[in-house]
């Protein structure tokens, strides 16, 4: 049973984002955004797949071949400067504000972000705080220009 209204529980299969139910979301996000219905990735592993999507390059061209250091993860992403030219950087160059909500890459934590620097291209980042990032529920921490609980600096 879902939460009582108002809530933000959305379900693609139940069509809860239909404009009849959420006209503002449809007007502000869906009609101006992108919906990918049939997306295929060459690697079905978190960090290689996300990096391929964000850079437009196959994992054998980014050398992001694992979810953990030394062959993958956030530390490798930053060390190899894969954030120098990728989707959020391109969108900002075109004049868009960019926000990341949710998990970015394995190893992107309250410790690694200040130590390694935040990834380039994001106006703001809202990510789950450990240990909830493992199960994708719970606390959200802000990294970027929008301050909130868990804020760890600016991009």
Is 23 among the domain residues? no
Tell me which of 29 and 98 has the higher pLDDT. 98
Categorize the per-residue pLDDT at 7 as very low, low, confident or very high, splitting at 50, 70 and 90: low
Is 115 among the domain residues? yes
Evaluate if pTM is beyond 0.75. Answer: no
Is 151 among the domain residues? no
Is 70 among the domain residues? yes
Is 8 among the domain residues? no
User: Domain tally for the chain?
Assistant: 1
Given this model, what pLDDT does residue 135 score?
39
66 forms bridges with which residues in the sheet?
Answer: 72
Q: Residue holding tokens 């394995």?
A: 106
Is 120 among the domain residues? yes
The domain of 47 spans 41-144
Is 55 among the domain residues? yes
For CA atoms 9, 11, 15, 19, the dihedral sign is positive
Residue 72: burial class (beta carbons within 10 Å; 0-12, 13-18, 19+): buried
Other beta carbons within 10 angstroms of residue 25's beta carbon come to 17
Catalytic residue ranges: 46
Is 18 among the domain residues? no
Given this model, what pLDDT does residue 17 score?
73
Given this model, what pLDDT does residue 70 score?
94
What mean pLDDT comes out for the span 84-110? Answer: 87
């Amino acid at each position: 049973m879902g939460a009582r209204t108002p809530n933000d529980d959305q379900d693609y299969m139940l069509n809860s984002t239909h404009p009849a139910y959420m006209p503002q979301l449809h007007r502000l996000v869906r009609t101006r955004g992108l919906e990918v219905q049939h997306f295929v990735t060459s690697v079905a592993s978190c960090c290689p797949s996300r990096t391929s999507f964000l850079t437009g390059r196959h994992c054998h061209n980014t050398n992001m071949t694992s979810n953990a250091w030394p062959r993958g993860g956030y530390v490798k992403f930053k060390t190899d400067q894969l954030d120098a030219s990728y989707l959020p950087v391109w969108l900002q160059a075109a004049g868009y504000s960019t926000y990341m909500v949710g998990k970015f890459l394995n190893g992107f934590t309250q410790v690694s972000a200040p130590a390694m620097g935040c990834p380039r291209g994001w106006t703001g980042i809202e990510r789950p705080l450990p240990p909830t990032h493992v199960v994708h529920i719970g606390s959200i921490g802000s990294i970027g220009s929008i301050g909130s609980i868990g804020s760890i600096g600016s991009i």
